[in-house]
Chain A
Amino acid sequence: MKVALAQIAPRLGDIDRNLEIHLEFIEKARREKADLIVFPELSLTGYTLKDLAGDVALDPRTDPRFKKILERTKGLSVVLGFMEESAADKGLFYNAAAFLTGGKILHVHRKVYLPTNGLFEEAKFFAQGRDFRVFPTPFGRAGLMICRDFLHYGASYVLFAGGADMIIVISAAPGRGVARGDGFETSRMWELMGETVSYFSTAFVFYVNRVGIEDGVSFAGGSFIYSPAGHLLARAAYLDPEFLVHRLDFTAVREARTKWLFKRDEKPDVILRSLERVVRVPED
């Protein structure tokens, strides 16, 4: 299987332009004979939306612009980020990721952890998702996460326990801290989690971060792929746009799981019971 990571810089608040970028990269991925292309968080809209959130929100089931992307997913799966406002939830704007294949929406994940501190204002403008779910795809079981979701390791655990062969993280992570060398200090945080989650979940981790600058904030880039054995298979440039295509062998999942038996020996029932107690404690 071939996966393409589109480390792009979307234009803020301009869906039409971003749609063009998506179609262009989807064509590029097709020419490279990729099976899956992954775009970053809010790839269709840009990140620092503030009050633009409602203006760029769309319903992926009916929106004609979204349909243009869906139409190009025959034989090529696409993961992208957008602002979702569904017919059932008018006025609620979700930071969402969708997995598309064969002209169909396989799954929509709504970001659960909305950073709202320091330079982040997501919960001020976005509604909060409430679920992590594993779903079947043409090349194995996948789980989706959006940026900050990935830094809460319980979310990865749910996808691991749910049987994910690949964890796909789309991100718009700003870089902070410049004492480290060729990249922002915060890039290390994502790589550390990528290595850890891939190794202990014996699953692929695809992390696609954006680049470009919005209102003075530089997005760090550095998208990566970790193997189910915790090896860094590929990493895109920090700061600069890149189109990274990498061939993967899904037998690596089986190999990792026969070497390290974390998956076989996992006890979600015990974890669930213990968690239930943790959640109940304040009421005891």
Chain B
Amino acid sequence: MSFSGPWKESFVSLKIDPPFVDKVLTRFIREELNKHGFKKGILGLSGGLDSAVCACLAARALGPRNVLGLIMPYGDSFSADVRDAEKWGHFLGIRTQTIDIAPQVDAYFAAQPTQSRILRGNKMARERMSILYDYSAREKALILGTSNKTELLIGYGTIHGDMASGVNPLGDLYKTQVRELARYLGVPASILRKAPTAGLWSGQTDEQELGLTYSEIDEILENLVEKRRTLPDIVKDGFKPSIVRRIALMIRNSEFKRKLPPIAKLSTRSVGHDFLYPYDWGK
């Protein structure tokens, strides 16, 4: 038996209609900010794909002058990314500001030395977060998150670092879908073709570190998450069992990054358990 045509299941669910997604997300950004009394949005601009797409959506939703992109390199180790971020910000007409995080990061690690690139990378992500929150208050601007669905699901992000935000327009788009949306939004090739990096250290790329390409990861995630298929079923399609197992384990082991910490229940009305109100309460 063979399947063909538009209904072939395995190709259906990762397809997006970029103009429609653009419509939904710009409305989401505009409405969420309005409801919570913000006119302005702020985000970290890394020079990578996710923040480029988020900045573009924000510019369209709020007007470019109401968007502030903070470019926060560590010294001059990511100068090509800084240039890409500045150029894209300029093209969109949003405000940008560059803050070098090296002094504060170096001051910390001078006192608390480490050889671990992961520790250093996480610290940098959290320094960027603390600057974003400081500027959020200075500018009365809400922080727009740039974590995509792939990262959220496999836990490829720093908790309370790049995962922290006020609202997240990209959290339900897989990396490959963000790329598709980026093409539609006219994100330049220099950003589109760049190897995705968490910027944890110079020369690091996500796909190298994960040992898989994003399209491979997304295809497995689609099977596990969207289609709720079991591991043995997915393996029958020809995926390597060790890889599918590894991704399933990454999802499982990163649930803590996607939740608020559990509160020990004592009373009959506990925050998070049975004191439950909508996020948009009264807005």
Given contacts A215-B262, A216-B262, contact A177 B268 (CB under 8 A): yes
Cα A165 to Cα B265 with chains together (Å) = 36
Bound form: Cα–Cα A199–B224 in Å:
51
A174 near B: Cβ within 8 Å?
yes
Q: What separation, in Å, do the CA atoms of A174 and B267 have in the docked complex?
A: 11
Q: Report chain B residues within 8 Å CB of A216.
A: 262-265, 270, 272-273
Chain B residue total in the interface (Cβ 8 A): 14
Q: Mark A174-193, 1 if CB is under 8 A from B, else 0.
A: 11111000000100000000
Cβ of B228 within 8 Å of any chain A Cβ, yes or no, is: yes
Give the distance in Å from the alpha carbon of A185 to the alpha carbon of B274 in the complex: 16
B189 on the A face (CB < 8 A): no
Known: A118-B273, A119-B273. A218 touches B264 (CB 8 A): yes
A219 to chain B, nearest CB (A): 10
Q: Once the chains bind, are A174 and B268 in contact (CB under 8 Å)? A: no
Instruction: Judge if B266 is at the interface, Cβ distance under 8 Å.
Output: yes
Query: In the complex, which residues of chain B have a beta carbon less than 8 angstroms from the beta carbon of A175?
Result: 265
Instruction: Please report which residues of chain B, range 64-103, place their CB below 8 angstroms from some CB of chain A when the two chains form the complex.
Output: none
Which A residues are CB-close (under 8 A) to B266? 176-178
Task: For chain A, residues 105 to 164, give those with C-beta under 8 angstroms from any C-beta of chain B.
Answer: 117-119
Residues of A within 8 A of B228 (CB): 54
Which residue on chain B has the smallest CB distance to residue A117?
B274
**Residues 221-239 of B at the A interface (beta carbon under 8 Å):** 228, 230
Contacts of B264 in A (CB 8 A): 213, 216, 218
Chain B residues in 8 Å Cβ range of A117: 274
Q: Which A residue's beta carbon lies closest to that of B262?
A: A216
Q: A118-B273, A119-B273, A216-B273 are in contact. Are A176 and B268 (CB under 8 A)?
A: yes
In the complex, are the beta carbons of A118 and B274 less than 8 A apart? yes
Residue of B nearest to A217 (CB): B265
Say yes or no: B265 contacts A119, CB within 8 Å.
yes
Expressed in whole angstroms, the Cα–Cα distance for A174 and B263 within the complex equals 14
B123–chain A nearest beta-carbon distance, Å = 28
Residues of chain B with a CB closer than 8 A to A177's CB: 266-268
CA–CA, A139 and B28, complex, Å: 63
The residue in chain B whose Cβ has the minimal distance to the Cβ of A175 is B265
On whether A176 and B267 interact (CB within 8 A), knowing A54-B228, A215-B262, A216-B262, the answer reads yes
Determine if A218 and B265 form an interchain contact, defined as CB atoms under 8 angstroms apart: yes
Q: Are B267 and A217 in contact (CB under 8 A)?
A: no
Q: A213: which B residues are within 8 A, CB to CB?
A: 264
- The complex places the Cα of A14 from the Cα of B267 at a distance, in Å, of 29
A1 to chain B, nearest CB (A): 37
Interface 1/0 per residue, B257-282 and A, CB below 8 Å:
00000111111101011101000000
**Which of B263, B267, B274, B276 touches A178 (beta carbons < 8 Å)?**
B267
Q: Within A52-82, which residues are at the interface with B (CB < 8 Å)?
A: 54-55
Scan residues 25-76 of chain A and give those whose CB is less than 8 A from a CB of chain B: 54-55
| Distance from A150 Cβ to chain B, minimum over Cβ atoms (Å) | 19
A61 to chain B, nearest CB (A): 20
Minimum CB–CB distance for A51 against chain B, Å? 8
Q: Which residue of A lies closest to B252 (CB)?
A: A13
Q: Which residue of A lies closest to B272 (CB)?
A: A216
The interface residues of chain B lying within 8 Å CB-to-CB of A178 are 266-267
* Of listed B266, B272, B276, residue having the most chain A CB within 10 A: B266
| Contact in complex: A217, B268 (CB < 8 Å) | no
Return the CB mask of A208-227 against B: 1 if under 8 Å, else 0. Answer: 00000101111000000000
Instruction: Give the chain B neighbours of A176 by CB distance below 8 A.
Output: 265-268
C-alpha spacing A118/B268, complex, angstroms: 9
Bound: A213/B276 CA distance, A: 20
Q: How far is the CA of A176 from the CA of B270 in the complex (A)?
A: 9
List residues of chain A with CB within 8 A of the CB of B263.
216
Binding site for B on A (CB under 8 A): 54-55, 117-119, 174-178, 185, 213, 215-218
B interface with A by C-beta (< 8 Å): 228, 230, 262-268, 270, 272-274, 276
Listed from nearest, the 7 A-B pairs whose CB atoms lie closest are A216-B262, A118-B274, A119-B273, A119-B274, A176-B268, A178-B266, A217-B265
**24 examples of A-B residue contacts, CB within 8 angstroms:** A117-B274, A118-B274, A118-B276, A119-B265, A119-B270, A119-B273, A174-B265, A176-B265, A176-B266, A176-B267, A177-B266, A177-B268, A185-B268, A213-B264, A215-B262, A216-B262, A216-B263, A216-B264, A216-B265, A216-B270, A216-B272, A217-B265, A218-B264, A218-B265
